[in-house]
Structure 1
Amino acid sequence: MAAMLVAVLAVFTFMPIASAQSVPTLSNIRTGRHAGFDRVVLDMSGPTADVRLREVTGVANCGSGFPVPMPDSAEILQVTVIGAAAHDDAGNPTYTGPQNFATPGLTNVRRVALTCDFEAVLGIAVGYGNPDAWHRVFTLTSPNRLVIDIGHY
């Protein structure tokens, strides 16, 4: 019986273990203008879990606490994704694009900024010009994406 237990443990000891990313990761941020709304798309490696939204007039970097500039933005939609990151488990960035960028081709969205990538919390700020504009946030799959729409008016 002991010999059988040792043999089973030996098999499990030498079995390769697949390495999986512990949380979904951000790989790209895309923007586009559509009839009636502007869209921001976050390409993710897996499904997003908990998404929280807040309309704010200013944002700060979650690590440093320093303000994140959002010029020309009358309102900011702060999107927080709990259980996601912009880096892999080894600390290597999975999103290598700009951290804060203007969106000149869009009607209402003025700026997009990565505001947080810390302890499985991913923060994205979307600044827009019309504070009365509607917004919606939803997910799509195949591939996995978090979609942020901001109405033109």
Structure 2
Amino acid sequence: MNRRLVAVLVAVLTVFTFVPLASAQSTPTLSNIRTGQHPGFSRVVLDLSGLPTEHRVREVTSVANCGSGNPVDMPGSTEILAVTLIGAAAHDDNGNPTYTGSRNFATPNLNPVNRVALTCDFEATLGIAVGYTNANAWHRVFTLTNPNRLVIDVGL
């Protein structure tokens, strides 16, 4: 009976000793926001450490900070595209920011996009607002890998 008990204990200890511990960031994080002008459309790229679980897109008339509820100023924008990334953050598991750039900035060299704002970074929900000036503009939002990123295109 003692041999059985020793064998069980050895088996249990072996399993717990060799199970790898999760050491990587559990939630994909934002590291950079890039913008660029292309023929016929503006592009906003969110550089991420991984892909979010999902993303949601909607056209809105105003945006607010998800933590405070305070309005986020989008000067010069007549239209706003709100993009929400579920399962992403702009900080690591210890609360340290992974994105240190501006949280609300003008994009003077783009047309029709004229403003980008980070509106939410709370409980693995990341919010981005893209302001633009053409009410008839089209948009598309998609993810790419190698490297991981979320792309927001707004066309003329």
Q: TM-score range by the shorter chain?
A: over 0.9
> Pairwise CA RMSD of aligned residues?
1.3
| C-alpha separation in 1, matches of 2:26 and 2:44 | 25
User: Is 1:2 matched up with 2:30?
Assistant: no
Range with bigger deviation, 2-11 or 63-72: 2-11
**Equivalent runs, 1:39-78 vs 2, <5 Å:** 39-78=43-82
Identity across aligned pairs (percent)?
A: 68
Once the two structures are overlaid, the 10-residue window that deviates more, 8-17 or 136-145, is 8-17
* 3-state SS of 1:71 partner: coil
Where structure 1 has 5 or more consecutive residues not aligned to the other structure, the ranges are none
Aligned mates of 2:8, 2:131 — CA distance in 1: 61
Structure 2, unaligned stretches of length 5 or more? none
TM-score with structure 1 length normalisation?
Answer: 0.94
Kindly report which structure 2 residues correspond to 1:28-107, keeping only aligned pairs within 5 A, or say none. 28-107=32-111
CA distance in 2, matches of 1:4, 1:117: 49
Q: Which has the larger radius of gyration?
A: 2
2:132 pairs with 111, 128, 131, which one? 128
